[in-house]
Structure 1
């Protein structure tokens, strides 16, 4: 049955507490397929937490998250939500590719094996086919020649590009990028930005928490600006947020970025 839902991600009054602190407060947004959303805000705004909730690396205390038409992490029975089993959750997680600040590659595996491992072990893709797909993805992120290198032989920018290829190998319907360039110096960040830009042009749905204003301004379609766990501005097109933020908090945030 084809999924007719036009939204890739739906956030409905998502709330999360850590102890006494409310880290996400009634966060709601619908993200249509193919949209690139930059999640911006000061440190501690809840950006990374929101992304981690979308693929259920963190649980939520209220509201709902739907990815690709399916409720994430829970099953509804009447009015109650019951958490899914670990197996069902990892099944769901295949739909969301996640790229972290730290590249999280398997140190003991070469680049090619890093990219192949998910399809082979999780999706059951035959090795020859997985290898062919992995080589094509490495080509796409500009690293075909590094297929047999190990992570420690690569720069940070190269490792992050391998991490993106590894996430794409699972053919996710959504990519979540959590500060994908923050651990990199500006020159290496540029290589990663070029790959992310290519994904945006290919129409992959992306939610990206970033401190990199140029990344958000130049090719996100939309900005969600968060402060203290709430969405303060939801702006399309993204550029408009940078040219004329509608909130005082948005203006303060941008003026600090320029200094």
Structure 2
């Protein structure tokens, strides 16, 4: 693995009096696929939203590609960047949500083309070529002219992944990408994410799907109550969890899977 793309130092996030993230520190090297596991309310989704500066921070720092995200340093203090500067930073940080957020009035092809044309200034023919290649990669080459309401949930999520990749981010954040799907449709999306892992994309995936975490993630970060409880290579995490809280979590999933 090479130098870290994502560097998180002592990240704290609160909502009112509720502390959601309590001093998270993580480093993610280029090309690594990290699964974020943990019970609901553990802070997984909030962590991803902070990396993309969809949430302001109450403490700590996040750097992506060496750049401080969402803030600039002036002396010993941090000041939030203006919206336009934050939007520029987000170009390098792709985010895939559990609710697909496609433009309903646009065709699949147009959904994937819009960002590169409007944000990156890519010429329309080049944006179209890139979009068609990405639709082929996610297994939807025949759906370019379809509209979102003509697609299954799994197909819509794969279009959302293609749309995110069209911006050529250096990091891909996936927030429960299969939670809105039934098991059969989840398999389509998991297969697509596995393909991205094989291609060397740097990813952090908040998920309840053990088939993602155990199947192709390099590393598992297990969170509970706003803390990182365990951070291990995936095979070691599943074979010999060290912490009692981790074992309790894995035992629960083993029981519900049968």
Instruction: Report what 1:218 is aligned to.
Output: 215
Picking from 50, 53, 56, the partner of 1:56 is 53
What are the superposed Cα offsets for residues 104-155 of structure 1, whole Å, 9 maximum, x if unpaired? Answer: 0000100000000000000000001000000000000000100000000000
SS in 1 for 2:186: helix
What residue is the counterpart of 1:258 in the other structure? 254
Report the equivalent of 1:86: 83
* SS of structure 2 residue aligned to 1:158: helix
Deviation at 1:78, TM superposition (A): 1.0
SS of the residue 2:242 aligns to: coil
Mapping for residues 148-159 of structure 1, pairs under 5 Å:
148-159=145-156
**1:33-112 matched pairs, under 5 angstroms:** 33-112=30-109
Cα-to-partner distance string for 1:194-231 (whole Å, 9 max, x where unaligned)? 11001001110000000001110010000110000110
Q: CA deviation at 1:243?
A: 1.4
Distance 2:76 2:104 in 1: 45
* Separation in 2, partners of 1:190, 1:76: 44
Query: How far apart are 1:251 and its partner, in Å?
Result: 0.3
2:197 is equivalent to residue 200 of structure 1? yes
Query: C-alpha offsets along residues 28-54 of structure 1, whole Å, 9 cap, x if unaligned?
Result: 011000000000000000000000000
User: For 1:17, which of 14, 19, 33 is the aligned residue?
Assistant: 14
Moved segments of 4+, more than 2 Å: none
The answer to whether the Cα contact below 8 Å between 1:12 and 1:28 also exists between their aligned partners in 2 is yes
**Does residue 234 of the first structure (1) align with residue 231 of the second (2)?**
yes
**Stretches of structure 1 lacking an aligned partner (at least 5 in a row):** none
* TM-score relative to the length of structure 2: 0.98
Deviation at 1:258, TM superposition (A): 1.1
Contact 1:157–1:184, Cα closer than 8 Å, also in 2: yes
Taking the aligned partners of 2:46 and 2:184, their CA distance within structure 1 comes to: 27
| 1:126-165 correspondence to structure 2 within 5 Å | 126-165=123-162
How many pairs does the alignment contain? 254
Partners of 1:206 and 1:212 lie apart in 2 by 15
Question: How many Å separate the matches in 2 of 1:182 and 1:164?
Answer: 15
The alignment's TM-score, normalised by the length of structure 1, stands at: 0.97
Contact 1:218 1:239 in 2 (8 A): no
After superposition, give the CA deviation of every residue in 1:46-92 in whole Å (9 maximum; x if it has no partner): 00000000000011100000001100000011110010000000000
**RMSD of Structure 2 on Structure 1 (CA):** 0.7
Task: Specify every segment of 5 or more residues in structure 2 that has no aligned partner in the other structure, as ranges.
Answer: none
Q: Residue 190 of structure 1 is aligned with which of 167, 187, 191?
A: 187
The 10-residue stretch of structure 1 (5-14 or 186-195) with the greater mean CA deviation from structure 2: 5-14
Shift of 1:252: 0.3
